[in-house]
Chains A and B, each alone.
Chain A
Amino acid sequence: MSEAPAFGNLRRLTPARLRLDPAGGAAPLSAVLDFQACHARARDAIHAPVDWAALAAALAPLPVLDLHSRAPDRATYIRRPDLGRRLRAEDAAGLTPPPGGADLAIVVADGLSALAVDRQAAGVVKALVARLPGLRLAPVALVRQGRVAVGDEVADRLGADLCLVLVGERPGLSVADSLGAYLTWRARPGTPDSARNCVSNIHGLGGLGHDQAADRLAWLIGAARARGLTGVGLKDESPALAGAAAPGRLAGEGAPPPCELVGREPAAHVPPG
């Protein structure tokens, strides 16, 4: 097999796995094994459990609530998105508004990447809370086997005006630990995805850092409270965006856009669950 010329300048133009070997033939073994390594990392991120105890410890002194969706295990969770969107009945029944009320309920759900929750969730929550003085916070809800919409039931039960769900995004081959954040005003079960604002691609490989993400979320929270809405009617005009590339548009990252509908024109992208 011939040695592929380097053509480093061409390779730097795209994160795609360019081969650029005029000789063709079977893919080099090194490329095959690298692909397998990236796929393995993505698979492990999906199937590994979140270290919830470590997360609770990292969030201290913020109080936490340990909750579970209606999906009893990972295999069911993958097959039944509907179960991941609802709380287990006994967990829902135990949720009541905190004394004194709550402006914001923060929910952390594993989604499709345990690695994302392990690496990003505590940092984003702490950076965000530091930016929200005076806001009444409900205890941070930690939902096992949870999807984005499970936050609707949590915030509704806690009587919070705003719901912020931090959830592990579907891993790609390049990035396996990307966190997404979804903000919803007056969330309740059945709230459509068009009523949410999303900050995606929170990760360390060219995505949003914890402070950047917290800046944008704090701006969105302020705007949502001032205008009493979230979703398509609330455009993200946060100053943190000025001059920065939009998330998912960073060359070299291959940021995973969440897709559930088969339609692959970007307008059809919807939150992962």
Chain B
Amino acid sequence: MPSYSALLGGERYRFDGLAPLLAAATPERSGDQLAGIAAESEAQRVAARMALADLPLAEFLTETVVPYETDEVTRLILDSHDAAAFAPFAAMTVGELRDWLLSDAAEARSLARAAPGLTPEMVAAVSKLMRNQDLIAAARKAEVVTAFRNTLGQKGRIATRLQPNHPADDLKGIAAAVLDGLLQGTGDAVIGINPATDNIANCTAILQALDGLRLDFGIPTQSCVLTHVTNTLEIIEAGGPVDLVFQSVAGTEAANAGFGVTLSVLAEAHAAARGLNRGTVGRNVMYFETGQGAPLSADAHHGVDQQTLEARAYGVARAFDPLLVNTVVGFIGPEYLYDGKQIIRAGLEDHFCGKILGLPMGVDVCYTNHVEADQDDMDTLMTLLAAAGVNFVICVPGSDDVMLSYQSLAFEDAAWLRRTFGLRPAPEFEDWLARTGLGEERGLRALPDLGQLARRMGLPA
């Protein structure tokens, strides 16, 4: 195993292996401290960054952080590496990649060409050398466009997942929350439910209700019930109206086993959903969620820092051409990201790494009640992410998810982002909002008739 070192303040700091070097270079976070791999001092952290800056990118093609022989995620990353796309970077160090990303040479097209040549570990490494403003500056230059019933990710646009969760999966309660979200112009990324009960019949009933709503109103969007991939496969086989296949994924084979998934079952589901041909303007059919700390919580981290493992989860996601990927950055708990500062940093890292790897990256800007964070921290993170060009964010009524018991963004926050940054929804969805009288230019039209909309949805208004 190679060792790396740097001289700082007359002291030589040594790092015995790539994983310890990456872990020590990571900004402070509770998950790496819990795993016992965080930098032991601030000086050691900076020394690690100095050593990392001088590391050739090519090192990541020969040195693995999780063994190739025992981990299918490592095999996926290395076996699918595009040497031709990497060629322009083959002689660079990690520090030189940082300089390139911040230079004018890096723009939407050159970033898209570079993506297949960069491995998740390279991108995680360079993120550790970047300040928050650097993560924003580089990510906002990337453009990752995906499509199903609408077109997501174009410059100047921001989409939203409308998340109308209900603690009893009550279909009318769900519909009422959907109505509330549509009133405020959200739902173009997906109308996506986390079911309270994970059985096939229940998930199918929710899917049918959402699909019926979409058809009745002619909404150019997609729906999803976020159940396990094997459940979705069963629903597809039974003829259920599946637009998108959802799955939580992580950056190691063992952590994915904790989620009950393998690359082959993801491939099977990908093929099955594409075979349904339900998309109208595109064929991206996968929806992945990720989050720093998942491998550690499953005791499957191999001594690798949680941010590098998170980037490897994006390596899994990009093998399946997803429509949507989002980190649930503040959901995982304070033992992984302790406070607002750590959540904000991680949200920007996750968005940057996903975008540079070529993913349609969104973020659930969120926190739980035992984290040292509040809605002010979420205001800060959503503002920074809008500046960074995030593809989509997640919104729930009044910021309060009454099924999962955590706080995310509100429908009003999405409207605020659109207004403040001059951003627009997905083009097809924007047209539909205008036709339905729900568009942004509220001063120029009569207010929508809520009672009439509700009655059309079969709700008692």
Complex: A194 Cα to B258 Cα, angstroms: 12
Complex: A176 Cα to B399 Cα, angstroms: 17
1/0 per residue B285-299: CB within 8 Å of A?
A: 000011101100110
The prevalent SS among residues of B at the interface is loop
1/0 per residue B208-223: CB within 8 Å of A?
A: 0000000000000000
Contacts of B174 in A (CB 8 A): 14
Task: Say whether B27 faces chain A, with CB atoms less than 8 Å apart.
Answer: no
Of the candidates A26, A81, A254, the one whose C-beta lies within 8 Å of that of B412 is A26
Of the candidates B183, B184, B228, B459, the one whose C-beta lies within 8 Å of that of A267 is B228
Contacts of A7 in B (CB 8 A): 450-451, 454, 461
Of the candidates A78, A245, A264, the one whose C-beta lies within 8 Å of that of B328 is A264
Contacts of A26 in B (CB 8 A): 412, 416
Q: B residues 162-196 with Cβ under 8 Å of A?
A: 164-170, 172-177, 179-180, 183-184, 194-196
Given the known interface contacts A78-B370, A254-B403, A264-B226, the answer about A19 and B196 at a Cβ–Cβ threshold of 8 Å is no
Contacts of B442 in A (CB 8 A): 23-24
Of the candidates A22, A81, A255, the one whose C-beta lies within 8 Å of that of B450 is A22
Complex: A103 Cα to B100 Cα, angstroms: 67
Given the known interface contacts A13-B170, A81-B335, the answer about A42 and B177 at a Cβ–Cβ threshold of 8 Å is no
Task: Say whether A172 faces chain B, with CB atoms less than 8 Å apart.
Answer: yes
Task: Say whether A62 faces chain B, with CB atoms less than 8 Å apart.
Answer: no
Of the candidates A14, A16, A81, A172, the one whose C-beta lies within 8 Å of that of B369 is A172
Interface size on A, residues (CB 8 A): 60
Complex: A249 Cα to B169 Cα, angstroms: 8
**Nearest CB of chain B from residue A208's CB, rounded to whole Å:** 14
Contacts of B451 in A (CB 8 A): 7
Q: Give the contact-size bracket for chain B.
A: 35 or more
Whether B335 lies near A78 (C-beta < 8 A) is yes
Given the known interface contacts A264-B289, A265-B227, the answer about A16 and B177 at a Cβ–Cβ threshold of 8 Å is yes
**Nearest CB of chain B from residue A13's CB, rounded to whole Å:** 4
Given the known interface contacts A24-B412, A170-B405, the answer about A9 and B461 at a Cβ–Cβ threshold of 8 Å is yes
Complex: A151 Cα to B163 Cα, angstroms: 37
Whether A18 lies near B167 (C-beta < 8 A) is no
1/0 per residue B420-461: CB within 8 Å of A?
A: 000000000000000000000010000111110010000111
Whether A267 lies near B194 (C-beta < 8 A) is no
A16 nearest CB neighbor, chain B only = B397
Complex: A20 Cα to B176 Cα, angstroms: 9
Whether A20 lies near B167 (C-beta < 8 A) is no
Whether A18 lies near B450 (C-beta < 8 A) is no
Given the known interface contacts A24-B412, A79-B335, A170-B368, the answer about A250 and B168 at a Cβ–Cβ threshold of 8 Å is yes
Whether B410 lies near A27 (C-beta < 8 A) is yes
Known contacts A16-B176, A16-B398; 12 additional CB pairs below 8 A are A14-B176, A14-B397, A17-B397, A27-B398, A39-B374, A79-B30, A79-B335, A251-B167, A261-B259, A262-B331, A263-B294, A264-B289
